[in-house]
Chains A and B, each alone.
Chain A
Amino acid sequence: MIGSRNSERIATAIFYLIALLVSVLLAALIGYILYQGLPVINWHFLTAAPLPYQAGGGIGPEIFNSLMLLVLTMALTVPLGLGVGIYLSEYAREGRITRAIRICIESLASMPSIVIGIFGLMLFVVIFKWGFSVISGVMALTALNLPVMTRLAEDAIKNVSPDLREASLALGATQWQTITDVVLVAAIPGLVTGIILSAGRVFGEAAALLYTAGTTTSALNFTDLNPLSNNSPFYLLRPAETLAVHIWQVNSEGLNPDATQIANGASAVLVIMVLIFNLVSRWAGNWLFSKKTGQ
């Protein structure tokens, strides 16, 4: 019969083992991706356009598309998410509308991304006739990211000390002035951390973009910066395959002889970007927090 002291030791050992296994698994995963992918990455790989059927293509346009879609999505979802977050934490009274908002946010948050993707296919690609394009992808990503941003904003605002709010109001500021000049400013560290973290997730999204932004991209001509011109990388109606979708596509269409290397290289770039987003969000959050609190 195992004594309670021994069962204590065994249990502790098992838990340490679990933690160790999980850490080793992560190290193995990231290690494998970097091991396979880093040798593929060079300047040419990162900037050249993909070759449709030959070896030696790159992922330059895909990286640009991922970033462009990310920036546009954030430009839409940050203000909207902030708006809803402010409303929920400052103005909303418990009632039917507030409950409806919360239910909607939860529902939108739990929707599988492929479902949002096919909704985007139906509405933006087919009905609006935008085709497989940047703007279709941005709309799908916005629907995906909006609940995340809303929760983020609401949490960040709720975490601001009520004393700050009281003090501002006591000084005669209106509610809106309090929100914009005091509360939001105080919430910046939390907001920035969260935005950068969610940016990492948007950067890696593929299912929602497969049928909205498409699985191909035109070669990007950076000399033409006019968003209204067909040729420009900023033309919103051009197909815009992103890095994550490219990994899927290269494997699914299998036309490139070096598809394995491309997928490895692209995976490594994706993982490195996510690591960068994670690190930057931590540092930015810490730095902003120390600026704010003077520590």
Chain B
Amino acid sequence: MINVELSNKIGKYTTFFCAILIITITMAIILVIAYKGLAIFTRDGVSLRNFFLTTKFNPDATPPEMGAATFIAGSVAVSLLALLFSAPFGIGLAIFMAEISRGWERKIMQPVIELFVGIPSVVYGWIGISVLVPFIRNNIGGMGFSLLAGGIVLAIMILPTIASVSTDSLRANPADIREGSLALGVTRWQTILMVMVPAAMPGILTSIVLALARAFGEALAVQMVIGNAIRMPTSLLAPMNTMTSIITMDMSGTVMGAVDNDVLWTLAFILLLISVVFILIIRTINRGRTAMG
């Protein structure tokens, strides 16, 4: 029988070891991606200006053309478009759930949101290809594979993020500010607009940043519907590409250490940096809040 004191020590050190393991894993991933991501500049000699500001992308050419502007612009465009479509609905839904619904509505909408989250991203991409793309092609224009298709698919995917985080934030508002406002004769809608939403603003902004992060990082659903043409996202109905889609399409066809492989790691590194920046933004938004209460 293991001595109780010994098992206490073993327990403590085992859990500490797990914690160290998670630090190791994370640091390993981040450092390796950073190292490989910078190789294009340090080892392969591509200039920053070349990478970020030119649009010609052909790693096979001599000299290799490494313009990643189309991918970065594409990711930004499709993510912002998705946000534009889904933020009103997400925040509206959150207001509904937190302020307006009486109880039975919330009991329905809660599982609805959970189900939205649960549907895998490939399935969204598949519905996008089989329903949305032909619809756009036949009723709106273009080839169907487009920025618009990507934006709509992503909007549906990030809607639950905005809705659930905003709902939590609104519900976390102390009840007295609502009571106080209503007691002063302000209507419910005015209270929501002028008191509750501003009070929950850090949380709502957090939900938007989280949704943006999710949109930037989505790979397969987007790759299936945007047409993957290497061009700047100048038109809503024309095919385009994103950082994640070019990684998905080209990664397996490149050899590690080669220039065409390095450039994909640089894009992965940029994605990583974007998510880090978003984490920092969220922390900054919420720093004031925790200080308050």
Direct contact of A and B (CB under 8 A): yes
Interface residues of A (CB under 8 A from B): 4-5, 7-8, 11-12, 14-16, 18-19, 21-23, 25-26, 29-30, 32-33, 36, 79-80, 82-84, 86-88, 90-92, 97, 100-101, 104-108, 110-116, 118-119, 121-123, 126, 143, 146-147, 150, 174-177, 179-180, 197, 200-201, 203-207, 210-211, 244-245, 247-248, 251, 260, 263-264, 267, 270-271, 274-275, 277-278
**Residues from chain A with Cβ under 8 Å of B188 in the complex:** 8, 12
What are 21 A-B contacts with C-beta separation under 8 Å? A7-B190, A11-B189, A19-B92, A25-B156, A29-B119, A101-B19, A104-B23, A107-B276, A108-B25, A108-B26, A108-B29, A112-B217, A118-B251, A174-B8, A177-B8, A197-B114, A203-B120, A206-B120, A247-B123, A247-B126, A278-B115
Count how many pairs of residues, one from A and one from B, have CB atoms less than 8 Å apart in the complex. 241
**Residues from chain A with Cβ under 8 Å of B256 in the complex:** 122, 126
Segment at the A interface, from B45-53, B60-68, B93-101, B171-179: B93-101
Inter-chain contact B21/A80, CB cutoff 8 Å: yes
Inter-chain contact B26/A104, CB cutoff 8 Å: yes
CA distance A27 to B31 in the complex (A): 43
CA distance A88 to B115 in the complex (A): 30
> Within the complex, what minimum Cβ distance (angstroms) separates B289 from chain A?
17
Which interface class (under 10, 10 to 19, 20 to 34, 35 or more) fits B?
35 or more
> Within the complex, what minimum Cβ distance (angstroms) separates A163 from chain B?
21
B135 at the binding interface (Cβ < 8 Å): no
CA distance A207 to B264 in the complex (A): 15
User: Which A residue's beta carbon lies closest to that of B88?
Assistant: A18
**Residues from chain A with Cβ under 8 Å of B4 in the complex:** 174, 177
CA distance A25 to B248 in the complex (A): 29
Q: Which one of A90, A91, A112, A121 contacts B275 once the chains associate, using CB atoms below 8 Å?
A: A112
- Knowing A19-B105, A26-B116, A115-B272, the reply to whether A207 touches B12 (Cβ < 8 A) is no
CA distance A155 to B25 in the complex (A): 22
User: Which A residue's beta carbon lies closest to that of B264?
Assistant: A118
- Knowing A12-B100, A29-B119, the reply to whether A180 touches B18 (Cβ < 8 A) is no
User: Which A residue's beta carbon lies closest to that of B219?
Assistant: A114
Interface SS of A by simple majority = helix
**Residues from chain A with Cβ under 8 Å of B112 in the complex:** 22-23, 26
Q: Which one of B5, B217, B272 contacts A113 once the chains associate, using CB atoms below 8 Å?
A: B217
Inter-chain contact A175/B108, CB cutoff 8 Å: no
**Residues from chain A with Cβ under 8 Å of B93 in the complex:** 18-19, 22
**Residues from chain A with Cβ under 8 Å of B8 in the complex:** 174-177
**Residues from chain B with Cβ under 8 Å of A14 in the complex:** 92
> Within the complex, what minimum Cβ distance (angstroms) separates A7 from chain B?
6
CA distance A270 to B101 in the complex (A): 31
CA distance A210 to B244 in the complex (A): 13
CA distance A251 to B126 in the complex (A): 8
> Within the complex, what minimum Cβ distance (angstroms) separates B110 from chain A?
10
With A122-B36, A244-B120 already in contact, 17 other A-B pairs whose C-beta atoms are closer than 8 Å: A8-B187, A18-B96, A21-B89, A22-B89, A33-B123, A107-B276, A108-B29, A114-B220, A114-B268, A119-B32, A122-B32, A146-B22, A175-B8, A201-B117, A260-B130, A271-B119, A274-B119
Instruction: Pick the most buried of B23, B93, B220: most chain A CB atoms within 10 A of its CB.
Output: B220
Inter-chain contact A248/B220, CB cutoff 8 Å: yes
User: Which A residue's beta carbon lies closest to that of B99?
Assistant: A15
- Knowing A22-B89, A22-B159, the reply to whether A5 touches B187 (Cβ < 8 A) is yes
CA distance A263 to B275 in the complex (A): 32
**Residues from chain A with Cβ under 8 Å of B279 in the complex:** 106-107, 110
> Within the complex, what minimum Cβ distance (angstroms) separates A284 from chain B?
15
Q: Which one of A12, A30, A210 contacts B115 once the chains associate, using CB atoms below 8 Å?
A: A30
Inter-chain contact A105/B224, CB cutoff 8 Å: no
**Residues from chain A with Cβ under 8 Å of B276 in the complex:** 107, 110
**Can you list, as one digit per residue, whether each of B1-36 has a CB less than 8 Å from chain A (1) or not (0)?**
000110110111011111101110111011011001
CA distance A228 to B147 in the complex (A): 48
CA distance A97 to B268 in the complex (A): 27
**Residues from chain B with Cβ under 8 Å of A80 in the complex:** 18, 21-22
Q: Which one of A8, A84, A112 contacts B271 once the chains associate, using CB atoms below 8 Å?
A: A112
CA distance A118 to B252 in the complex (A): 9
Q: Which one of B7, B15, B25 contacts A86 once the chains associate, using CB atoms below 8 Å?
A: B15
CA distance A251 to B93 in the complex (A): 34
**Residues from chain B with Cβ under 8 Å of A105 in the complex:** 22, 26
**Residues from chain A with Cβ under 8 Å of B118 in the complex:** 200-201, 204, 274-275, 277-278
